[in-house]
Amino acid sequence: MRMAEPASTPPPTLDTIDLYDPQRYVDSSQHGAWRLLRDQAPIWAQQTPDGSTFWSVTRYDDVTAVLLDDENYGSEHGTILAVTGGDPAGGRTINLMDRPRHTRVRQPTIPLMSMHAARRHAPRVRDRIRRIVRDRLAAGGVTDWTELTLALPMVAAGDVIGIPESAWSDVSRWAMAGVAPDDPAYATGSASATLHRAHLELFTVLNEVIRDRHRRPQDDVVSELLHLDVGGRRLDQQEVLLNCYSFVMGAVTTTPQVAAHLVLALAERPEAWHTVRARPDLVPRAVEEALRWASPTNHLLRRTLAPVRLGEVDLGPGELVAAWIGAANRDERIFTDPYRFDPARTINPHLAFGVGVHRCIGAPPAQSVLRILLAEMIGQLDGFEVAGPVVHLRSNFINGITQLPIDCRPVPARQAGVLV
């Protein structure tokens, strides 16, 4: 989605707002609509093309309230608007489980994903990123940086999950095809044929890893899932597979988008780039700002489990509520100057990783790889510009970029490597 400030686009009216239509995320921006909703209709109903009604919350406080209240707002029905009819994996995989079962799957996998673990992996991740950025520079001229950013999740978490390096590139492409099957960058036929193929390709790789870890357990997520005790029993083969799939999808569909939006934001704002270059200690803060700025999951869906009052609206059980993370992260009630990309922002309680019991378990490896990427850019790049049309992902769920032509200038040879 374009990151246009509402003031720079024609003002929407409530009757023209459509948060569902995936095409609106390709060629325009929802920031104007989100601001209008925050101000005038903080609890707002819309219908999907198949006639399901969903309620939208766009204010930071309402989004937080919904996501924190997992007793009244469940995840098992599905967490994205693309499957309002119910997700077939509901109740069987970490992100689509409610407590208490959810805790039994989540708790044992947390240590593998901690900041402590990410620090342990950091030297290897740094070597790989250094090489990737160097190769890009060596290619010279204008190159599409989405090829680079798509490599990041597996570099950060491929080993942690248990995916062999030989499969990283395919897994990343098919995971994106799985989340945006009708985007021209990933479609291999109709949306349903692409989705079917993506699942088949991913499940083939994952099943092979699962078979291998049965024989030779390693220190990774797949091995951990195989040995979980979920209330006196093990996960069955299908549940292990679905959980592996959730970890892959969680990593691949989000991390590259933060990197791509970061590169785009810095390319369009040379003053921000100069600020981080002059002060590499700002790298962690710049990454948090990129997370807020990009908000790669536009929304998270929940279904009410009981009668509940949401703002001024009484909802019965079984109602769908979309918590718009992208809108909450621009709420002027919380963020000063929210439409400004400020790499030195100090107060930044963004919700890019969600909040509550399902808050992103992969946040530490994601933050680590994004920091390493930015540090490498500072070490290796003198400057860079957007050098062609930027293309945005066709999805109401993921705020993605599928084409990012960048022309970069390397630092002069005698300075290279000073900061890395």
Residue with nearest beta carbon to ligand HEM: 362
3-state secondary structure of 411: coil
DSSP 303-336: EESS-EEETTEEE-TT-EEEEEHHHHTT-TTTSS
Shortest gap between Cβ of 382 and ligand HEM (angstroms)?
27
Q: Exposed (0-12), middle (13-18) or buried (19+): which is 146, by Cβ within 10 Å?
A: buried
Shortest gap between Cβ of 414 and ligand HEM (angstroms)?
35
B/e letters for 389-411, b = 16+ CB within 10 Å, e = fewer, are ebbbbbbbbbbbbbbbbbebebb
Residue 81: count other Cβ atoms within 10 Å of its Cβ. 23
Instruction: Give the residue with the Cβ less far from ligand HEM, 228 or 387.
Output: 228
Instruction: Give the residue with the Cβ less far from ligand HEM, 195 or 373.
Output: 373
Instruction: Give the residue with the Cβ less far from ligand HEM, 230 or 411.
Output: 230
Instruction: Give the residue with the Cβ less far from ligand HEM, 28 or 298.
Output: 298
Radius of gyration of the chain from Cα atoms? 21
Instruction: Give the residue with the Cβ less far from ligand HEM, 156 or 282.
Output: 156
Instruction: Give the residue with the Cβ less far from ligand HEM, 77 or 358.
Output: 358
The residue among 93, 98, 107 whose CA lies nearest residue 302 is 98
Residue 65: count other Cβ atoms within 10 Å of its Cβ. 18
Contact between 172 and 198 (Cβ < 8 Å): no
Shortest gap between Cβ of 122 and ligand HEM (angstroms)?
14
- Give the footprint of ligand HEM on this chain (CB under 6 A): 75, 79, 94-95, 106, 153, 156-157, 161, 246-247, 250-251, 254-255, 258, 296-297, 300, 352-354, 358, 360-362, 365-366
Shortest gap between Cβ of 130 and ligand HEM (angstroms)?
20
Helix ranges (H only) for 181-311 are: 191-215, 221-226, 237-252, 255-268, 270-278, 283-294
Shortest gap between Cβ of 272 and ligand HEM (angstroms)?
19
Instruction: Give the residue with the Cβ less far from ligand HEM, 326 or 338.
Output: 326
For every residue of 44-74, which 3-state class applies, written as one string?
EEEECCCCCEEEEECCHHHHHHHHHCCCCEE
Q: Which residues pair with 142 in a beta bridge?
A: 407
Shortest gap between Cβ of 94 and ligand HEM (angstroms)?
5
In the chain, what is the straight-line distance between the N-terminal and C-terminal CA atoms, in Å? Answer: 32
Shortest gap between Cβ of 158 and ligand HEM (angstroms)?
9
